[in-house]
Amino acid sequence: NLLQHHSQRNAGAVEQRGKKGARGQKSVCTRDQFICGGSMIQFLLLQNRQGKTRLSKYYRAYTDDEKTKLEGEVHRIVTTRDPKFTNFVEFKQYKLIYRRYAGLFFTLCVDVTDNELVYFESIHLFVELLDQFFGNVCELDLVFNFNKVYMILDEFFLAGEVQETSKQAILHRVQELDKLE
């Protein structure tokens, strides 16, 4: 279902390349739009209430200064936002989707045209995966086992897109990889 929707979006982006626009000019997709179909996660951040980034994964190239600035801006936005508002915020030309679990904020930055609920539920699934793998996960698990957290993340998201949605399949693969270490 999700994969079928993703394939249709990518096919549409490829078909659009080279078509004539409304004014008779050829419309050309940017490199990023052509490669990813205009739909992907830009970055994922896990931050605590104090603003310390516990996990970050960038699916676009950013300089270290840009990353630091983004992390500060995102933290300021999600921690000061009134809880009665939605967990979706427009951010530059993107959209932030976040959830708070205990003292941690899980934030995804996605394209504005993406389905918020898919990514909102993806955050929850990621937390469930962490919880099952670590057995009642806490912030210290993320800090001291960051390599395993990245392993789980890489089985779930690939190149900024949801790769697998089956909790059992992801956990099975991660446990197999964990045995190899």
pLDDT above 50: residue 14? no
Q: What is the pLDDT of residues 145-177, one digit of tens each?
A: 999 999 999 999 999 999 999 999 999 999 999
pLDDT of residue 181: 79
pTM, to two decimals: 0.77
Q: What is the pLDDT of residues 68-103, one digit of tens each?
A: 999 999 999 999 999 899 999 999 999 999 999 999
Mean pLDDT across the chain: 82
pLDDT above 80: residue 116? yes
pLDDT above 80: residue 22? no
pLDDT above 90: residue 7? no
pLDDT band at 126 (very low <50, low <70, confident <90, very high): very high
What single string gives the DSSP state of each residue in 93-160?
A: TEEEEEEEETTEEEEEEEETTS-HHHHHHHHHHHHHHHHHHHTS--HHHHHHTHHHHHHHHHHHEETT
Q: How many CA atoms lie within 13 A of 110 on its CB side?
A: 26
